[in-house]
């Protein structure tokens, strides 16, 4: 009996040791990953406080740290930084709202309604997403240029034209994401509402739309971040500094051959990241799924 008790104690001690060892390994890996993720942000923050604007000789803690780069960023009349931020928020916010509105209605039609060409259209949307967007840059430029000759407010140098291009590029994948989530919602909700005399529009707006909140938040965040951080399309369609978005405007600080202001660039990058951080903090509780639980009344 004593031998069994001793063996049990040894096994228990061994299991505790292995458990602590495994926990220690996990903590070490977690710390390494956190440092790996935070280090670029700390380096950019350090560069924003370095008045010399020299990345090659920069240290993580600059000895002469100051807010000179932020003052230059705000007081430079030739580089309207705040206007770039507002332009990006306007373009990204409008694109997100319109994309969510169109995507949810299209996903409802593909998920709940049955009509001729439904599967063909879904496959076509998927096929279009296979081709890289870079292949269409020349075609997009010419299309927006010719559209502007008929509708000037949708042509080059307009935020409306840029928004229309963003909408066309984000529809495909967002529709598939939204449709996949809609397919998981029980059809018994629709059937019960139809028995009570509800129309398709009433079912969509009053019953299904509140249940789509998790995927709408995810799609909205992805759409906002994708357009807010875009550089190529905005640079091609916009050429005047006052119309620039945030990402395009930042390149002016480092675009000159003999005057690369990395300090102001880093300060602008930190401030420009604030809208994304605010959105994540405001909507982090809405990302969790499971809102459809209990939707069907037994």
Tell which of 66, 89, 120 closes a domain.
66
The 3-state secondary structure of the chain reads CHHHHHHHHHHHHHHHHHHHHHHHHHHHHHHHHHHHHHHHHHHHHHHHHCCCCCCCCCCCCCCCCCCHHHHHHHHCCCCCHHHHHHHHHHHHHHHHHHHHHHHHHHHHHHHHCCCCCHHHHHHHHHHHHHCCHHHHHHHHHHHHHHHHHHCHHHCCCCHHHHHHHHHHHHHHHHHHHHHHHHHCCCCHHHHHHHHCCCCHHHHHHHHHHHHCHHHHHHHHHHHHHHHHCCCHHHHHHCCCHHHCCHHHHHHHHCCCCCCCCHHHHHHHHHHHCHHHHHHHHHHHHHCCCCCCCCCCCC
Going by pLDDT thresholds of 50, 70 and 90, the confidence category of residue 45 is: confident
Residue 295 has pLDDT above 60, yes or no: no
Residue 296 lies in a domain: no
Question: Which residue has tokens 């495994």?
Answer: 22
- pLDDT at site 9: 57
Instruction: Kindly report, residue by residue over 223-265, the tens digit of the pLDDT.
Output: 898 899 888 889 899 888 888 998 888 888 876 655 677 888 8
Going by pLDDT thresholds of 50, 70 and 90, the confidence category of residue 298 is: very low
Rounded (5°) CA angle 230-106-184: 100
Instruction: Kindly report, residue by residue over 99-110, the tens digit of the pLDDT.
Output: 998 899 888 888
Tell which of 66, 86, 116 closes a domain.
66
Residue 292 lies in a domain: no
Instruction: Kindly report, residue by residue over 55-69, the tens digit of the pLDDT.
Output: 666 667 777 777 888
Instruction: Name every residue whose Cβ is closer than 8 Å to that of residue 240 and which is 6 or more positions away in sequence.
Output: 157
Domain residues for the domain of 264 are 78-286
pTM: 0.81
Q: Are residues 32 and 119 in the same domain?
A: no
Q: Are residues 140 and 24 in the same domain?
A: no
Question: What percent of the chain is predicted at pLDDT more than 90?
Answer: 8
- pLDDT at site 257: 53
Instruction: Kindly report, residue by residue over 106-162, the tens digit of the pLDDT.
Output: 888 888 888 788 888 888 887 877 777 777 888 888 999 998 898 888 888 899 999
Instruction: Name every residue whose Cβ is closer than 8 Å to that of residue 62 and which is 6 or more positions away in sequence.
Output: 46, 49, 50, 52
- Which pair of structure tokens corresponds to residue 141? 């430029």
- Which pair of structure tokens corresponds to residue 297? 């009344």
Tell which of 27, 45, 66 closes a domain.
66
Q: Are residues 143 and 122 in the same domain?
A: yes
Q: Are residues 282 and 193 in the same domain?
A: yes
Residue 261 lies in a domain: yes
Question: What percent of the chain is predicted at pLDDT more than 70?
Answer: 84
Average pLDDT over residues 29-39: 87
In whole angstroms, what is the distance from residue 179 CA to residue 103 CA?
9
- Domain count of the chain? 2
Residue 298 lies in a domain: no
124 to 64, 131, 176, 186, 258: CA distances (angstroms): 58, 12, 12, 26, 49
Instruction: Kindly report, residue by residue over 192-210, the tens digit of the pLDDT.
Output: 888 888 888 888 888 888 8
Q: Are residues 39 and 103 in the same domain?
A: no
């Amino acid at each position: 009996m004593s031998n069994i008790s001793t063996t049990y104690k040894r096994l228990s001690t061994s299991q505790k040791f292995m458990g602590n060892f495994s926990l220690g390994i996990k903590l070490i890996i977690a710390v390494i990953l956190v440092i790996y993720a935070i280090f670029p942000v700390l380096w950019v923050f350090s560069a924003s406080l370095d008045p010399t604007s020299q990345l090659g000789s920069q240290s993580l803690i600059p000895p002469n740290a100051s807010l000179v780069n932020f003052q230059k960023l705000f007081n430079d009349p030739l580089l309207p930084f705040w206007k770039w931020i507002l332009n990006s928020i306007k373009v990204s916010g409008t694109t997100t709202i319109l994309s969510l509105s169109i995507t949810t209605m299209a996903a409802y039609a593909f998920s709940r309604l049955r009509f001729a060409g439904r599967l063909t259209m879904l496959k076509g949307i998927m096929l279009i997403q296979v081709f890289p967007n870079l292949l269409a840059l020349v075609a997009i430029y010419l299309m927006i240029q010719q559209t502007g000759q008929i509708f000037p407010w949708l042509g080059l140098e307009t935020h409306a034209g840029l928004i229309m291009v963003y909408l066309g590029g984000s529809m495909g994948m967002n529709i598939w994401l939204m449709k996949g989530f809609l397919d998981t919602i029980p059809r018994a909700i629709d059937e019960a509402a139809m028995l009570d005399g509800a129309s398709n529009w009433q079912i969509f707006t009053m019953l299904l739309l509140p249940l789509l909140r998790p995927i709408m938040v995810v799609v909205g965040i992805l759409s906002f971040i994708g357009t807010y951080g875009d550089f190529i399309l905005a640079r091609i369609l916009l050429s005047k500094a006052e119309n620039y978005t945030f990402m395009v405007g930042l390149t002016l600080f480092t675009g000159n051959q003999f005057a690369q202001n990395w300090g102001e660039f880093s300060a602008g990058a930190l401030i420009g990241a604030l809208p994304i951080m605010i959105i994540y903090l405001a909507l982090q509780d809405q990302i969790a799924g499971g809102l459809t639980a209990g939707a069907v009344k037994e």
